[in-house]
Amino acid sequence: MLESYSLPAVLCRILLAIAGWVTLILQFFLIRSAGEAMGQTLGMTTGNFFSYFTILTNLLVAFSLSVALFYTRSGMGAFFSRASVQTAIAGCMLVVGGVYHLVLAKLWNPHGSQWAADVLLHTVLPLFYLVYWILFVPKGNLGLSAPLPWLLYPLVYLLYTLGRGALLGWYPYPFLNAGDLGYAMVLGNSAVLLGVFLVLFYVLTLADRAMGSKMHKP
């Protein structure tokens, strides 16, 4: 593994952050344009934009890398530089890519700018962040209990999504649409999804421990 503050690591963070911000801005304008065509207000389309787990997680990537780059010595910079935090983000990005390609990609066929945004959000950025995690995030310091608090982020997201959906009648993903599927089915889907998160978190934790052990051998 290369040094986490080496020039290649810094350049990788810069490229990832820029790619993330540019893609998020592009996707916002695409969603805003589609919302206007359907007569939605700016507030509604903005709320919908920030209700996608894909958007929130890619935003977390761009924001965390930007803070770590420009506010390295701040409390927030130190937080986002932690191996545990970066590993949790890597796991969430894997879910973003995996769920899209296994479940959602077959449900629609985007073209043009929307296709480009989809590829960046669901394929390029998750893979890019995984490569960054493998090469530059310090390894060998995660305990087996580390993944448990990481579940808080997807759990809060699910609660927010179901609560907002109940109020507005709009859900960002079909497998969370309680209006169509009913709460029993959606809660079952949510439990499966949380299980997927936990499995991927543990896969990354075990990989971290294995890579760290190999690095520390004489």
- List pLDDT tens digits, range 96-137: 999 999 999 999 999 999 999 999 999 999 999 999 999 999
Q: What is the pLDDT of residues 134-182, one digit of tens each?
A: 999 999 999 999 999 999 999 999 999 999 999 999 999 999 999 999 9
- pLDDT value for 216: 54
Amino acid at 139: K
Tell me the pTM.
0.94
Terminal CA-to-CA distance of the chain, rounded, Å? 15
What DSSP string runs through 30-49?
Answer: HHHHHHHHTT--HHHHHHHH
Percent of the residues in the chain that have a pLDDT greater than 70, as a whole number: 95
- Under 8 Å CB-to-CB from 142, ≥6 apart: which residues? 83, 84, 87, 205, 208, 209
- Tokens for 4, please give them: 């986490």
Q: What is the pLDDT of residues 46-85, one digit of tens each?
A: 999 999 999 999 999 999 999 999 988 899 999 999 999 9
- Tokens for 129, please give them: 């962040």
